[in-house]
Structures are given as C-alpha cells and as structure tokens.
C-alpha cells in the first residue's frame, strides 16, 4: 500500500480526487501514525478517529458518485482546540470548559469540511491561547518532535507539532501575538497569520478579539496557500470580516521576487536576537537578493514598543472576554453556598496561573483611574505602529525579520513571565497592525534546531507574501 504519510496536502487531494487512493486509506494511515507516535509528543487533546473515518467514507462516496469533494479531498487536518466543533469537546486546554460541547461549528471548520478535508482531532495549546511554549495546558505540555526535551512554542504548539511529526499534513491554529508563527519556527514548519478580517473568527473562542486571527500550519508554502484559499473569505457572522473577493493564492506562488522591494527591519534584527538565528536571517536575505529582490534596511521605530502595548491590550480584552466563564452558563461549576462564592470557586479551580495573571493585568489596565494611563496609551502606541508600518511600505513591498529570537528552548527554561513574553517581540507588531505575516523554515541554529524567518506585508498582500515565501523555501532546500 502506498504510504501517504509525509505527502503534501496538494498531492493527497489530487490523488484522492483522481481515484488513485481512497480518502479512507489516507485517513487510516495518519490515524495509525498518531496512535503510534503521539503519546510522548502530546500534540492532541482528542483524536476523533470514528468521526474522521465517517468523513473519509463520505468523501469516497462523493467521488464514486462522480462528484468533486473539493480542493482538500481526503486531506487529514488537525484543529486547535479553541475552534468550536459541533458536539465535540472544545476545551481551550482549560479545566473551566470541562464537559462543554459546542452546538455549532466554527466557520473555518465548516469551510474545511466543505472542501473535503477530514478533521482527525483537536490539538493542545497554552490555556486560552495564552503562552509561547504550550507549557500552560491543563492537559500537560506538548513536546517538540524535533527534540522532545524542548518546547514546540505556543500557543498553537499542538498544531505545529502535529504537522512537524507528520501526524497531519496541515493544521489550523490561531495567532494573537505570534501563536502560529512562533511555534512554526520552533518546530520547523510553515505558519501563516493572515490579514485581520480575511479569515472568519466566528467560532474561535476569543482571547483578544481585536488581535486574534486563524491561519494554517503546513509542511510547504504551497499547502499554506491551498489552505488559505479554502478558509479565507467574507463571513456575515463575523462583524470584522472583510467583504473582499479572495484571489488565487496558489497561482501567486510562481511569481518570484524579481524587482520586489524587501526591507530588513532594523529594530527586529539587532539586540536580543541569538547570533545563530541572525545568521540564518542574513542568509535568507542574501537568498532573496540573489533571486532578484531589491534589499534594503528599513526602520519601523514604534515596533520597539510593541511588546509593552500588546501586554496591556491583549490582557484587557482577555479580561472582558473571559468574564463569561462564571460557572453558570457552560463548563466547570464548583458548587458553593452563594453565587459569588460559586463564581470565585469555579474560576479559582478552572483557570491556570498564566490565565489568572493576564486577567488581573487586564482588569487593572481597564480599572477606573488607570484606563487612560495604561489601556488608552497602549492603543495610541498601536496607532503609531500602524503608521510606521505604513511609512515602511511606502518604500518596500515586504519586510523580513527573525520569527523568534531563539531556537526552541528547554522545558522550564523561561519560568519568568517577562523572559517568556520576549519570545513574541518579533511577531506581535503584525498583530497590532492587523497585517499578514508568515514564518518559513530556513535551516537550523547551532543546536541543530529549526530557525524560522518571518516575512511581513501590508494588509491583503498575501499573494506577494506567499510568492516571496516560496522563493525562500526553495532557497532553503525544503522545496525542489
């Protein structure tokens, strides 16, 4: 039997649609690999094997009847466990949502199913997507498949690990301050954060609503483009969804970078970046130049304040969003004599330490007498960051930086919250501006662990971003 594990989503879909292989056999192969290998990795909170086989059989039945299941026919996909799945537990890796089964599917989950993709399970994450290492999960940490003694990054560490381990060719994650791109870099896979509003957030359990965005993980840039083409588009159920037509992202992959203006962000390539990571970024810049890009150094001054602004805005929005977890409507409930005591007991037992920390930070930033000094000022800094990006994009088409300041670190190495937060220094600015960004693997560091190079572009410039990413991928030796 042909082994389809390790093959691209594009190859699998083409083979299933042509009848070369059945969706059921592809899914069975991947489920067997998950069953054999996920124990020590802990990428999945839940594997939905029976439902996956039923979905695969439905794809095969459509083909047998002469129909076309869609561009992702029979492709196994893993879903971050903060995406609502009808009748299937959605935990956000938190005890507070214990026993909750959503009554509806997230829009992206519906779109994947309509395209013929087969969900095989829900992946582990930092609780409520708050973290950079997937150590903050009620279900234990996920381990990096490249070296299980190290973290996979976060918060979408389970999805990144699932793709890196070959459990699925593609996965979905969410990115609030780098939670797709950073774990993609640490695990050596491709991770794309689309323009804010390009992909519907309906059914994504909210962390920070003005920052959250759903995007794909994949082993190749082509698969990221394929996935984006399926999940992008206007959704009336999401008030922030952009009412614009979706271009063909796969067609843009062969455009190349000849004449493309590429800017190296001065503020994100100096102090705080490990020398081995900086060396790989320099090599990536040289590769883009060799492929015909016009490379220059640019300054985006306000990004130096991105971390400070983010850790006021995101916790403030989290404080508001997480107020709904009160033990009354859904999830965990710890009984107590009074309603106030019940809410206190439920939240004390249900939320982990990092979530509690961010709720308290956010509540403080929004409190009377401090709102203008903290939250209001952070929003003004956010505006400055957007203006500085706009000025940079007047002179260049794409920006480049490291994705993460270091390669994957050991478990427990960054127990201090500030040292952990610094992992997101390169990724946060794109979330604050609402712009797209992608992490592409580009070799390894001195420790033989993957290094990711980040490309950034203006809003809705995903076609340009992906064409540049394809050139980088080819230069890294990942693509032939």
Query: Where in the sequence numbering do the catalytic residues fall?
Result: 80, 155, 179
Instruction: Collapse the DSSP code of 368 into the 3-class scheme (helix H, G, I; strand E, B; otherwise coil) and give the result.
Output: coil
Structural contact between residues 87 and 21, judged by C-beta atoms closer than 8 angstroms: no
Please name the residue that has the structure tokens 């794909």. Answer: 216
The 10 Å CB-count burial string (b at 16+, else e) for 392-424 is bbeebbbbbbbbbbbbbbeeeebeeeeebbbbb
Burial class from Cβ neighbours inside 10 Å (0-12, 13-18, 19+) for residue 347 reads buried
Both tokens assigned to 377 = 């000022």
Report the half-sphere exposure of 128 (CA within 13 A, side-chain side).
27
Alpha carbon of 120 to those of 27, 68, 154, 158: distances in Å? 8, 21, 21, 13
DSSP state of 376: I
Reported in sequence order, the residue ranges of 41-143 that DSSP labels E, i.e. its strands, are 44-47, 76-80, 118-123
* Dihedral angle, C-alpha 127, 129, 135, 140, nearest 10 °: 40
For β-strands 398-402 and 294-298, DSSP reports them as unpaired
């Amino acid at each position: 039997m042909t082994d389809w594990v390790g093959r691209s989503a594009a190859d699998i879909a083409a083979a299933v649609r042509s009848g070369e292989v059945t969706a059921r056999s592809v899914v069975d192969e991947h489920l067997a690999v998950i069953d054999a290998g996920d124990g020590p990795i802990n990428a999945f909170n839940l594997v939905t094997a029976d439902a996956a086989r039923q979905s695969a059989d439905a794809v095969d039945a459509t083909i047998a009847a002469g129909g076309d299941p869609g561009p992702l026919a029979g492709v196994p996909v893993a879903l971050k466990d903060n995406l609502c799945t009808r009748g299937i537990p959605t935990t956000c890796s938190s005890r507070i949502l214990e026993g909750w089964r959503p009554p509806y599917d997230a829009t992206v989950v519906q779109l994947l199913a309509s395209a013929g993709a087969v969900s095989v399970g829900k992946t582990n994450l930092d609780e409520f997507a708050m973290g950079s290492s997937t150590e903050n999960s009620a279900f234990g940490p996920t381990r990096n498949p490249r070296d299980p003694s190290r973290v996979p990054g976060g918060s979408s560490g389970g999805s990144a690990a699932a793709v890196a381990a070959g459990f699925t060719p593609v996965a979905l994650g969410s990115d609030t301050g780098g939670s797709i791109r950073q774990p993609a870099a640490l695990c050596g896979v491709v991770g794309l954060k689309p323009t804010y509003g390009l992909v519907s957030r309906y059914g994504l359990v909210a962390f920070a609503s003005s920052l959250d965005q759903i995007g794909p993980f994949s082993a190749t840039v082509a698969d990221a483009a394929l996935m984006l083409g399926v999940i992008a588009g206007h959704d009336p159920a999401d008030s922030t969804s952009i009412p614009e037509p979706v271009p063909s992202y796969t067609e843009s992959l062969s455009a190349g970078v000849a004449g493309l203006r590429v800017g190296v962000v001065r503020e994100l390539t100096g102090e705080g970046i490990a020398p081995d990571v900086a060396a790989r970024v320099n090599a990536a810049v040289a590769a883009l130049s060799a492929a015909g890009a016009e490379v220059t150094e640019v300054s985006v001054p306000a990004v130096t304040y991105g971390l400070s602004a983010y850790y006021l805005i995101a916790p403030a929005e989290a404080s508001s969003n997480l107020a709904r977890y009160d033990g009354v409507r859904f999830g965990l409930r710890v009984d107590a004599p009074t309603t106030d005591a019940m809410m206190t007991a439920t939240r004390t037992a249900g939320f982990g330490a990092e979530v509690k920390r961010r709720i308290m930070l956010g509540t403080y930033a929004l409190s009377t007498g401090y709102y203008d000094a903290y939250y209001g000022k952070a929003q003004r800094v956010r505006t400055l960051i957007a203006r500085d990006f706009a000025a940079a994009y007047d002179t260049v088409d794409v920006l480049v930086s490291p994705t993460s300041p270091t390669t994957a670190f050991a478990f427990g190495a960054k127990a201090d919250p500030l040292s952990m937060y610094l992992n997101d220094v390169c990724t946060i600015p794109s979330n604050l501006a609402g712009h797209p960004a992608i992490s592409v693997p580009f070799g390894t560091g001195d420790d033989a662990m993957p290094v990711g190079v980040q490309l950034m572009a203006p809003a809705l410039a995903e076609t340009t971003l992906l064409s540049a990413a394809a050139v980088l991928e080819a230069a890294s030796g990942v693509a032939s």
